[in-house]
Amino acid sequence: MMVIRPIRADDYPALYAIAVESGHGFTSLPVNDELLMRKISRSEQSFAKAVTMPGDEGYLFVLEDSETGEVCGTSALEAAVGLDDAFYHYHLGKVVHSSRSLGVYKTVDILTLCNDYTGVSELCTLFLRESRREKNNGRLLSKMRFLFMAEFGQRFAERVIAEMRGISNDDGSSPFWQWLQEHFFSLDFPTADYLTGIGQKVFIAELMPKYPIYVSLLSKQAQAVIGKVHDKTKPALALLQSEGFSNRGYVDIFDAGPTVEARVEHIRSVRNSRRLRVNIGAQRSGQPYLVCNTRLAEFRATWLTLDINEHEEEVTLTAAAAAILLVDAGDWVRVSRI
């Protein structure tokens, strides 16, 4: 059975292997020993911390095969971004150039550097190893975060975002960054991406153009990738869109990938989730559900086929499923249809 749990210090070798496997453009998992260990330590501290409002907490989860102990993927939540370091985006907007006397009216797309998402929560660090991309594993790894947010709402902001990986070439170069590099920077895309991943963002404020950029002045290659996602990210984007996430014109400053957002209360899996009492018994045929316990430091989530009556206040779990979720008869779980 596949189970989600908080990351532990002894997961470091698996996390490092995932960081290597994730490749260029996966900013939140830099291939750096110190930074990865710091992420694990910060997550452990966040799960142990008493919180009444979102702050500088980061919750890192792993997907584990309960039979083999293999770590198969990761996903994470940031409670509130941009509180310590500036959190940058470009916003894609329009300006109008018009002259009534000359009969000229023209709209022009512009990119404006901003920090509009400061203080919102963020979905991040989602990666499922290729050999495990089957059944409902990807949905579990992504959507279980919504159950966590529903259960521990005081730890998160009212809005949540997800930065989607933009288009980059096989060698790690970004068509969008290549234009910025040529005119404003002397850093290639992998280097800039890596520096951001390890928290060295000062160069952005120092070198990024301060005034809006006219999109029409960019190279055709750069224009073509604005708001587009990497092929490997399309399933993740589709999943978030099905949950109610949408793009409001914000894109990444390095690869121009889209950032999608939603109010937590409007997310489908949050809105449709229910708390139910546990009953231990035989497995009955039914529908696939995400299920999590209601503990913080010992959080567990998995997906199960369950027979749930919408008018009842309890759910029947097998003894094996209850053991995986660290619950007993009478305990609470939160469930949401996949």
**Mind telling me the catalytic residues?**
230
Backbone torsion region of residue 227, taken as left when φ is above 0, otherwise alpha when ψ lies between -120 and 50, otherwise beta: left
- The encoded tokens of residue 219 equal 């190279």
Tell me the C-alpha distance between 15 and 39, whole Å.
Answer: 10
Torsion angle in degrees (nearest 10) through CA of 275, 277, 282, 287 = -10
- Which residue(s) pair with 213 in the sheet? 111
Question: Of 259, 233, 229, 236, nearest to 246 (Cα)?
Answer: 259
- The encoded tokens of residue 128 equal 């499922």
Tell me the C-alpha distance between 62 and 319, whole Å.
Answer: 23
Cβ of 219: how many Cβ atoms within 10 Å? 12
- The encoded tokens of residue 192 equal 């800039």
Backbone torsion region of residue 266, taken as left when φ is above 0, otherwise alpha when ψ lies between -120 and 50, otherwise beta: alpha
